[in-house]
Structure 1
Amino acid sequence: MSSVRAHWLNIAGFVASCLVGALFLWIITPDDFIKGYSSYWQSQVEDVSQYISGYRAYLAAPWQWPLLGIPSLNWPHGTTLTFVDAIPAFSFVLKLLNTVIHVPLNPLGYWMLVCYGMQGGAAWLLGRQLAGSDLLRVGLVVALCILMPSLTARMGHSSLQAHFLLLLALTLYFRGRAAARPDIVLWTVLLLVSFYVNFYITAMVAAVMVASTGDRWLKTRKAGEVLASVVPVIAVVASVPIMLGTAFGQAVPDTGFGFYSMNVLSPIGHGFLVRLPFYVPGTGGQYEGYNYLGLGLIALLALSVWLRQRQGKTEPAGAASYFGPVLVCILALCVIYALSNHVYVSDVQVLEWQIPSFLTGLFEAFRSSGRFFWVVSYALVAVAALSLGRVALPLRAILVVVALVIQLADMIPTYREVGHSLEREPHILADMDEWRAELAGVTTIHAFPKFKCPGGYAREVLPLQSVAAEGGYNLTTGFISRYGADCEAIASEIDASDPATSAYVFATTHFTPEQIASYMPENAQCKTLEIWSICRVTP
């Protein structure tokens, strides 16, 4: 095949794979989901409310330093896009575009479209890197990556849909195994984009980058390449003061490592064609460790083991030239971390180990450890594709078709469940017209209790964040990750505020009328709206 023809084939395959990924999203989601109008987005008490309100508050904020700052939430300290999970890289681009065109007030459906389209495109690049011109195996990689169950399972967490970044990291790794020099520029761009999409994705991309550096060093023994691999990290660190300011210095650690983990049986325990009747999650947080592979992929992996045994335990399809020892170690560590320090087989804890004290901060930062199996899932897709390399072409075609039919048959009920979950009824607690009427002349909403204080939960805080973002008000709290507040500083905050431009909002689910009256001066007037009491101080 000529180089020109191969070039155009690569472009055509990439575009077609992107379209297939986008089409898959369109098929499994309700009408108007992608446009951002469906009922799924009309909720003030779900995570999507955090993302949308954070994005709107950022869009309405003036340009300032840091570039990703949101001064109106957690006022007067502010916060950043990162801590409201509003996909900083995507929101930043939209804010730039908003200076010349009107951008959507809810772009998350389009973000999903980008993720699924790029999932197909990145899978094409990975497949080409693994299988070259064998379009049968390339197509298998594309299909398995688009159909990956763990991708659709996290539909409710927008930034975590960017699995395509993991595929690009693996592509760069496999490309680097044969390249004359490492792709430092591409690694830098990939790590920067990942960092401003999601920290969990970043950690996995960085782990694959470390594996690439380590395995290249074992092969070339060039210390200069190891030094050059620091460039992407330096670029990320240098960007933080500009984009995030001192946000990390204000972050409060979260607990939950060991609770939001992966079950040992998770990769094989969620099927519809073949079920494990004894499998139940070991903790209430193991939904974060949903990592089912699908029966088609499981069958291909079983076939790869059989082929390896049959061929005298030699690596099938030259997999040893693709998976270096450092990558294998990194993937094994990802599995161990995903299982956490409380290892469950179904609901039986079979192992517990103590976290080294010097790693406590890291483990708190990435408490939802079950997610770290994602990169392993895609590496297993690569293993399956490579294993078919030594199978005769007619049989290979049959195996690919059968595997994909099984994968679809096994997963269609799951995709239907996802579609049904996206058709939930709207849940609006705070009517914006009523709040605007009550907040006439107000610039700042002083809300109590603060998020993460007793009584300050999603139902009490998220609707207020939506009101603040839509109405252009400052809010003294927010549904913000890694957030801490002084829960006892109610009286001092009220005393320090400007009563002429302030409203004081108390959640009646936590405060009694007598408690509210004790905090407010005698000339305050309060009115109840839904689960809040809105108090204003008259001159």
Structure 2
Amino acid sequence: MSAIYDVKFFSVLAKIRSKKALLLLYLLASIIIGYAIYVNQVSWLDFNCNHGRYSNSCIYKIQRLYLVPVLGIIGCIFFLFIDKVLIFLIMLNKKLENLSLKVHAKILIIYSLVLSIFLFGFRFSFYILDPRRIEWISHFGRDLSLNFLSWHIFRDSPWSFPLGYIESINYPDGISIAYSDPTMLFCVLFKLLNPLLPSYFQYLGIWYFLNYALQGLFAALIFKNIKCSLKLKLLAVPFLIFSTVLLDRVSHLTLNAHWLILASFYLYLSSEMSNKKKIIWHSIIVYITVWLHPYLTFMLFSLFSALILKIYFTDKKQFKFLSFLFTFTFISVFISWYIIGYFHLGHIVDDLNLSYRSNLNTFINSMGKYALLNPLPSTGGDYEGSAYLGLGLLMILVVLLFEKWPKQKYIFNKENKYLLWIIVILTLLATGLNFKFGNITILNISKTFLIDYIFIVYRSMGRFIWPVYYFIIIFSLLSLIFRERSIYKKYILFIIALIIQLIDLYPLYKPVALNLANGFSVKRDFSPWVKFMGADKNKLIFYPNQEYFYEDFWLLSKEYKYSTNIGYFARIDLHKFKENEKNVYKNIVGGYIPRDTVYVVLKNEMKLFPTDQKNKNLECEIIQEFYACKNKN
């Protein structure tokens, strides 16, 4: 190990440690660096906290002002002993390579979990794990606010059937909470525990944490039994943990469960599990998606079909078992959707929208969100099918494509052909059979009954590209691992590609500004509304039915047990919506308002209410930007 000190840099470090004067100067420089970090943190707090660094809205201010500078000093001292650390790592490397595959697997899993949890903490901070804190939610966009508000109202609504039904929202039809994209699994669980929960309780931070941790776990499980150097596995898993299609889905809470897609690939590729166990576990993860999001169910059921085909053509004696489990899973999905309330609104037919699909350039198009590549041309809804691979992985792909292919096939072989079929089908569906490269249409055969029907049910079909994205990453990394080339060349390529990948993806995983100073606050004064509603009114009906500031009126309705018709939902029955709005309009112009109801229009629409004798039966008032009327009787 003495050869390491032949490098001049390391010999300089050893000299500093041996000379007291130099060591004292180095420690003094470390303290100065620590102070510089302290000044930087003070500036950060003053800039990011609207009410100054002494306000309660500044989280972790003690840690930022004192812990971070101390860590900076410790880092400088650690750097002084970097040669000792390097010697230790060299010795450790020799010992690691002699360990068994089982020990390698444990190290890989621990490393992967630590890395994914670090990513979560770095990006969001562990602050959001506190279920009592809701201030950060509104900064993540209206989708996440909707997730929280729908749960907040659902928790106190009476139990009913369907399970997710809320009567007080989207009045008079009500709505299933399923149409506001919450995590139904947690909604039902925490509703059972509602009497024990504080008045404001959010599970969103916990869900983000679980998704990131499980992403790391299944990334490790995919590679854990691969017979190769442990270091190659350690370099491979970050490509799955730092997934662009996951990092780009902050506001869509339930769609963060990409670990389920990785779990599906793990089951398909696993050689340590019996076919029977594989198919049972895959059936379970398909069923889990039922309580999360229909898009995930479609993807996982597709991958489930690939595993069934693989097992059937390997062992046709299992036909009865496979048929039973496939049918049972399929029926269970629809029964559970019915129980949750996905069919509550009946046969919903939205306007057909074929724009939310995947472009053929999706794997190389940064969409302007990343650091190193400029965006390529795209159309309006292509962001839903975005699956940028990252410059580091693209570099690996280029190397793999232009070097000599090995005789042994790792991707296009018998075992993987069923998975390849499903991947091709998902790719076609993701494009909507409208094949565009940027703005150039190559072929458009999307005007078919099947595609039209699927697009009505699954409007954002571009999301079906996600399993394809993971397929490309997994098999690209496996191809590089198994290529017949020098192990050191593999290390170099992996390290360079990973560094480039992390630099390129940084805009997506950099720390998110939680904007706590603004908080999740009500935007209006409730008191004039409560006063006007009185004790005998419990329905607040707006015309026309628009979103307005629905968050405020949902909170008002929750607090005072009102019903309201406004809101923001993933799906509504457009026919019923228009019919209800037509009835409200008739009542307003006719001067008829039910005794338990207050009708509300914008101030500039107050002329809708009658001005003749009928108006004498109404009591009206301007409240903020609205004009509200109720029956005097």
Fold conserved between structures, TM > 0.5 = yes
The equivalent residue for 2:373 is 275
Does the CA contact (< 8 Å) of 1:194 and 1:202 recur in 2?
A: yes
Give the partner amino acid of 2:556: V
The equivalent position to 1:532 in structure 2, one of 626, 629, 633, is: 626
Q: Which moved more, 1:426-435 or 1:252-261?
A: 426-435
- 3-state DSSP of counterpart to 2:191: helix
CA distance in 1, matches of 2:341, 2:533: 31
CA shift in 2, pair 1:188/1:161, >3 Å: same
Give the partner amino acid of 2:616: E
CA distance in 2, matches of 1:369, 1:424: 37
The equivalent residue for 2:87 is none
Q: Does 1:232 align with 2:321?
A: no
Give the partner amino acid of 1:154: R
CA distance in 1, matches of 2:497, 2:516: 30
The equivalent residue for 1:453 is none
User: How far apart are 1:102 and its partner, in Å?
Assistant: 3.9
CA shift in 2, pair 1:160/1:325, >3 Å: same
The equivalent position to 2:417 in structure 1, one of 325, 345, 359, is: 325
CA shift in 2, pair 1:11/1:395, >3 Å: same
CA distance in 2, matches of 1:50, 1:110: 17
Which aligned pairs between 1:361-376 and structure 2 lie closer than 5 A?
A: 361-376=453-468
The equivalent residue for 1:198 is 293
The equivalent residue for 1:302 is 398
The equivalent residue for 1:352 is 444
The equivalent position to 1:480 in structure 2, one of 569, 587, 595, is: 569
Give the partner amino acid of 1:275: L
Does the CA contact (< 8 Å) of 2:283 and 2:304 recur in 1?
A: no
User: How far apart are 1:491 and its partner, in Å?
Assistant: 4.5
Larger radius of gyration between Structure 1 and Structure 2: 2
The equivalent residue for 2:469 is 377
CA shift in 2, pair 1:31/1:224, >3 Å: closer
RMSD between aligned residues: 3.4
CA distance in 1, matches of 2:559, 2:388: 39
- 3-state DSSP of counterpart to 1:319: coil
In the alignment of these two chains, the number of paired residues is 520
Does the CA contact (< 8 Å) of 2:544 and 2:601 recur in 1?
A: yes
Give the partner amino acid of 2:151: Y
Give the partner amino acid of 1:483: I
The equivalent position to 2:605 in structure 1, one of 498, 509, 512, is: 512
Does the CA contact (< 8 Å) of 1:26 and 1:34 recur in 2?
A: no
Does the CA contact (< 8 Å) of 1:45 and 1:463 recur in 2?
A: no
The equivalent residue for 2:488 is 394
CA distance in 1, matches of 2:362, 2:198: 44
CA shift in 2, pair 1:48/1:369, >3 Å: same
- 3-state DSSP of counterpart to 1:72: coil
User: How far apart are 1:401 and its partner, in Å?
Assistant: 1.9
User: How far apart are 1:107 and its partner, in Å?
Assistant: 2.4
- 3-state DSSP of counterpart to 2:616: coil
Q: Does 1:465 align with 2:465?
A: no
User: How far apart are 1:376 and its partner, in Å?
Assistant: 0.9
The equivalent residue for 2:230 is 135
User: How far apart are 1:31 and its partner, in Å?
Assistant: 8.1
Does the CA contact (< 8 Å) of 1:39 and 1:423 recur in 2?
A: yes
Does the CA contact (< 8 Å) of 1:53 and 1:469 recur in 2?
A: no
CA shift in 2, pair 1:528/1:357, >3 Å: same
CA distance in 2, matches of 1:334, 1:59: 37
The equivalent residue for 1:502 is 597
User: How far apart are 1:385 and its partner, in Å?
Assistant: 2.3
CA distance in 1, matches of 2:349, 2:251: 23
CA shift in 2, pair 1:15/1:449, >3 Å: farther
User: How far apart are 1:353 and its partner, in Å?
Assistant: 1.6
CA distance in 1, matches of 2:468, 2:194: 38
The equivalent residue for 1:150 is 245
CA distance in 2, matches of 1:250, 1:165: 29
The equivalent residue for 2:263 is 168
Does the CA contact (< 8 Å) of 2:446 and 2:452 recur in 1?
A: no
Stretches of structure 1 that go unaligned for 5 or more consecutive residues are 451-455
CA deviation map 1:253-291 (0-9, x unaligned): 3345421122222211217564346x23222x2221221
CA deviation map 1:55-105 (0-9, x unaligned): 111111122322222222223432222111112112112222324444853
CA distance in 1, matches of 2:584, 2:471: 51
CA distance in 2, matches of 1:44, 1:468: 23
CA shift in 2, pair 1:18/1:302, >3 Å: same
Give the partner amino acid of 2:548: R
CA deviation map 1:368-417 (0-9, x unaligned): 1221111111111211221112344333333322221110111113334x
User: How far apart are 1:212 and its partner, in Å?
Assistant: 0.9
Does the CA contact (< 8 Å) of 2:587 and 2:593 recur in 1?
A: no
CA shift in 2, pair 1:9/1:521, >3 Å: farther
CA shift in 2, pair 1:118/1:104, >3 Å: farther
CA distance in 2, matches of 1:151, 1:19: 18
The equivalent position to 2:176 in structure 1, one of 80, 86, 90, is: 80
The equivalent residue for 1:110 is 206
Stretches of structure 2 that go unaligned for 5 or more consecutive residues are 1-95
CA shift in 2, pair 1:374/1:259, >3 Å: same
Does the CA contact (< 8 Å) of 2:621 and 2:629 recur in 1?
A: yes
- 3-state DSSP of counterpart to 2:411: helix
CA distance in 2, matches of 1:42, 1:167: 30
User: How far apart are 1:22 and its partner, in Å?
Assistant: 2.7
- Percentage identity across paired residues of the two chains: 21
Q: Which has the higher contact order (CA 8 A, sep 6+)?
A: 1
Does the CA contact (< 8 Å) of 1:212 and 1:327 recur in 2?
A: yes
CA distance in 2, matches of 1:274, 1:262: 22
Does the CA contact (< 8 Å) of 1:75 and 1:474 recur in 2?
A: yes
User: How far apart are 1:439 and its partner, in Å?
Assistant: 3.6
CA distance in 2, matches of 1:375, 1:236: 20
Q: Does 1:405 align with 2:499?
A: yes
The equivalent residue for 1:183 is 278
Does the CA contact (< 8 Å) of 2:186 and 2:203 recur in 1?
A: no
User: How far apart are 1:143 and its partner, in Å?
Assistant: 1.0
CA distance in 2, matches of 1:263, 1:245: 29
Does the CA contact (< 8 Å) of 2:348 and 2:572 recur in 1?
A: yes
